Amino acid sequence: MQIGALSKETGVHIETIRYYEKAGVMPKPPRSSGGRRLYDDEYKSRLSFVKRCRELGFSLDDVRSLLELVDGGYTCGEVQDLTLAHQQEIKSKITDLRRLDKTLGKLAANCEGGDTPDCPVIDALFVTPIKRSRNQPG
């Protein structure tokens, strides 16, 4: 299988496949006499693994760690640790974003909208510090 077919079958862009190889996430495949990359099914399932990890928000560094575990005889505990650590990061991102959402909602709620040549959002951005908790004095 050449790179175009692999790309179509996995949904990973050709450039990204080559990038993963260069970045050391995927191994260097053998080449044809003409110098073209030749892939087998094992490579394909490994690439799909990488793709799913990325869809789940793991960084390439995380993926490298996971693959090392996969190759080096992992234990369930090690994999679980990485997964839970990643989940924690995501949870804290959610917390941050929810705070932003709230703040933006409050800002926009004060707007009259329309052609009014003055806006409480701008005023707030120029004056108000971002509130980190509910109990701080204004």
Q: Does 18 bind DNA (CB under 7 A)?
A: yes
Tell me whether residue 34 or residue 138 sits nearer to its own copies (CB atom): 138
Q: Which two tokens stand for residue 84?
A: 């839970």
Instruction: Scan residues 68-127 and list those touching DNA (CB under 7 A).
Output: none
Q: Does 34 bind DNA (CB under 7 A)?
A: yes
Please name the amino acid found at residue 11.
G
Among 26, 37, 47, 67, binds DNA (CB under 7 A): 37
Q: What is the dihedral of CA 22, 23, 26, 28, to 10 degrees?
A: 30
* CA gap 68, 75 in Å, rounded: 11
Q: Return residues touching DNA (CB under 7 A).
A: 2-5, 7, 13-16, 18-20, 31-37, 54, 59-61
